[in-house]
Structure 1
Amino acid sequence: MHIVYIHQYYCNPSMAGGIRSYEQARRLVARGHTVDVITTDITGTQTRLGWRQTEDEGVRVHWFSIPYNNSMSYARRIRAFAQFMVVATAKAAALRADLVFATSTPLTVAVPGVLAAKLRRVPFVFEVRDLWPEVPIEMGALRNPLARGAAGALASFAYRNAAEVVALSPGMAAGVLARRPSTRTTVVPNAADLAMFRVRQDEVDRFRARHEWLGDRPLIVYTGALGAVNGVDYLVRAARRLRELDPGVRVLIVGHGKEWEPTKRLAASLGLLGDTVHMWEKVPKAELPVILGAATMSTSFVRPIRALWDNSANKFFDALAAGRPIAVNYGGWQADLLTGSGAGLVLDPVDADDAAEQFAKHCRDESWLAQARAAAHRLAVEQFSRDLLFDRFAAVLDRAAGRRAVPTTGE
């Protein structure tokens, strides 16, 4: 089967960002499919106009330079979305396809997906990574009634034209079905890359030894976006109280985004930066395993907005893959997993001092840490391994194309 795979922000392991599309595309190729990925070079460093093509383990990747970052205004982001929508439509329409797959965000990727599928008279499958327009509406980012109506119409357009929808969480699936109950929807969350996050103890020891500020101290890490939805200032405020409770604990924030500089300024103003709190710019995905391997505990945060509970953050599953406890400050399906399994902590959504109390209580409790690490590993292996979830994903594409699903071996 020839699959055109549209993802505006595709990344491979040499890049900083989630690698879900890379992992799914290369596994499709391994099963004998042909895959063309249509994406953007967001760095703005590409000098040649038009498209360039690379290959990732047999996947043909078509890149078009459209600069983008979380520091841009909403108007500039919308312009980037619209630009990709136009060029991706032309590219997708020019490629042979037996099935067209598009993954959000942004929601506008549905347009080239639907149009190319209609032109080629092949099925279209849509993947929902964030529930739009519900999330930006609840966050107050989408206030204009006309814009809300247009976004809602675009979501309905995507779901109505999809043979099937893949949703990254149960809450996202419920949102799809609330808008269009007849849409066949399958939940395929982000995954734990067990092989990638399997690191040797000597690598971890060398990492800790290289950083004098760390040594053998407990380490709490946050890896990923510092955007408006994340509220990583929560961790900095927790670190202020944590320093009083246990001055030896260290916090490492690794990432990028619109809130990077405000978060850094907050840490500096509290006298934490370079001591209790350390901040690194984003790193390639391939460098995360040793960082998480050195971590005592990982974290995932969102602002106290109910719609954000339905996220499927890569950082959550990376922690599971690394066998590390994870602390979250939100409810919903991930919090339920942690509570039920013992794989981490569910913190108060707004009380950072209480979070500090929880960190201080647990990050030197070797008995709790051992149990939580084991529980995290079990979740990774039994429920969220990449191969296990890829089978579910591939079954959706096979079903949409009218093919018999082909099983694969586990990880």
Structure 2
Amino acid sequence: MHILFLTDNFPPEVNAPASRTFEHCREWVEAGHRVTVITCAPNFPAGKLFEGYRNRVFGRETTAGIEVVRVWSYIAANEGFLRRSLDYMSFMVSAIPAGLVVGRPDVVIATSPQFFAACAGYFVSRLHRVPFIFELRDLWPESIRAVGAIKRPSLLSALEKLELFLYRKATMIVAVTHSFKRKLAARGIDPAKLHVVTNGADLRLFRQAPKDEELAQKLGLRGKFVAGYIGTHGLAHALETLLETARLLREEGREDIHLLFLGDGAAKASLCRRARDMGLSNVTFLDPVPRAQVARYWSLLDASVIHLRRNELFTTVIPSKLFESMAMGVPVLLGVRGEAAELVEREEAGLVFEPENAVHLRDRLVELAADDVLASTLGGNGTRAAVKYDRRRLASHMLRLVEGCVSGETAVREVPAGP
């Protein structure tokens, strides 16, 4: 089977969509299928080309047996709605002709969060007359409304009409949370074509490991209780809450608790300035590292802080970093309500705190730092639970969904992980 996958994020980018797509496609190639990925030149999130790449009209490479086609796009940093929209739309325009010259696929898959890639996927599937699968990673444009990136109701309405059009035209929709599936069904999308394959972790890369003492020494973290945020520093993450928690800890003389931030994003520059203005000596910001090195930084953490704004939309999401934290045996401090909180509490892999509540997060950090037995228990529970979210297992399940879609079968059993 020839699977054509459209995504505007792919390694060497290290965000969640890039990792999920690569790890799924790698497993499908190992299962004996031909996989072609159409993407753009790597530049996320800073909007700068990665070293060794050019923003060409058309280029080919092979990664882990995956045929990768990179097309031209308007490159912009992950900030500013207009420029990002031009980025998304230019990829759509470039991806459609590229989809016609890579050989006829048996199925076309396109992934969100933004759905201009899905638009391209739909058109390519129609031109090839093959099924179209929409992988739904985010309820876009609802998430744009949640962070206030668009304020014009007419524009949001137009985007929502396009969103519903794609949902209805998709042969199958694979959502990353059960909440997404329920939301789409409530909006009138045929439940028979809605399936769930959650995010997970590559257990070959992320697994429990002793603290990297050499790295801890280099970063000045030896002897500290390190609470880390690893991932995109975006508008949705409200990381100002973590800085306020650091201020509270410093004022209380608890500088033995240190906050480590690893990653980049639209909010990072302002967060760094704010931390400097607040004089936070108990906070360290680090630039992104290649994915193969991320596990070294996870090993430094005594707790993982995962946080999103206090918004109803975010009760439907499960941040992918949650699964990496569990796989590494790092207890989670989760500031996300809804399905993610239910998962953490069900697996007993961490403690939940109220989103955007710096005092509550401070209390949770102090509690965990004072109780080695609790921290060890939560971390061990996470490691055991992570087996259910092994990326290989999830990729295999999605492959069965894809095969069923191509063959015309609709009754494919859901992966048992999750509610």
TM-score (norm 2): 0.90
TM superposition shift of 1:245: 5.1
2:337–2:354: 8 Å Cα contact kept in structure 1?
no
Tell me the SS of whatever aligns to 2:119.
helix
Cα deviations by residue, 1:240-273 (Å, 9 ceiling, x for unpaired): 112225221111001111111111111111211x
CA distance in 1, matches of 2:25, 2:158: 31
Instruction: Note the C-alpha offset of 1:216.
Output: 2.5
Q: 2:286 is paired with a residue of what secondary structure?
A: strand
Residue 194 (structure 1) aligns with: 203
- RMSD of aligned C-alpha atoms? 1.8
Distance, in Å, in 2 between the alignment partners of 1:318 and 1:198 is 8
Superposition deviation, residue 56 in structure 1: 1.0
Cα deviation for residue 366 of structure 1 reads: 0.7
Supply the distance in 1 between the matched residues of 2:83 and 2:181 (Cα, whole angstroms). Answer: 29
Q: Aligned residue for 1:36?
A: 36
Corresponding position of 1:328: 334
Q: Report the CA distance between 1:199 and its aligned residue.
A: 5.9
Uncovered stretches (5+) of structure 1, i.e. residues with no partner = 406-411
1:256 partner SS: coil
**For 1:53-80, what per-residue CA distance to the aligned partner results, in whole angstroms no more than 9, with x for missing partners?**
1111110111124323213x21111111
Q: 1:173 to 1:393 in 2, by over 3 A?
A: same
1:408 maps to which residue?
none
Whether 1:280 aligns to 2:295 is: no
Shift of 1:225: 0.8
SS of 1:122's equivalent in the other structure is coil
The farther-off stretch of 99-108 and 348-357 is 348-357
| C-alpha contact 1:38 1:88 (8 A) present in aligned 2 | yes
Number of residue-to-residue matches in the alignment: 397
Q: Distance in 1 between matches of 2:14 and 2:134?
A: 24
Of the candidates 114, 122, 130, which is equivalent to residue 114 of structure 1? 122
1:312 alignment partner AA: I
Cα displacement (A) at 1:299: 1.3
- TM-score normalized by structure 1? 0.92
Ranges in structure 2 where 5+ consecutive residues have no aligned partner: 413-419
Greater displacement, 317-326 / 62-71: 62-71
Percent sequence identity over aligned pairs: 27
Does structure 2 retain, via aligned residues, the 8 Å contact 1:85–1:111? yes
Counterpart Cα distance in 2 of 1:177 and 1:108: 22
In the alignment, which of 12, 15, 18 is matched to residue 17 of structure 1? 15
Match of 2:85 in 1: 78
Q: What is the match of residue 260 of structure 1?
A: 268
> Structure 1 residue 384 and structure 2 residue 392: aligned?
no
The 1:121–1:65 alpha-carbon spacing in structure 2 relative to 1, beyond 3 Å, is closer
Partners in 1 of 2:120 and 2:88 — Cα distance?
11
Report the 3-state secondary structure (helix = DSSP H, G, I; strand = E; otherwise coil) of the residue aligned with 1:401: helix
- Counterpart residue number, 2:370: 364
Pairing partner for 1:124 from 128, 132, 138: 132
Whole-Å separation in 1 of the counterparts to 2:309 and 2:398:
30
- Match of 1:394? 399
Does the aligned pair in 1 maintain the 2:55–2:71 contact within 8 Å? no
CA contact 1:245–1:357 (8 Å) conserved in 2: no
1:34, CA displacement in angstroms?
0.6
3-state SS of paired residue (2:299):
helix
Partner of 1:68: 76
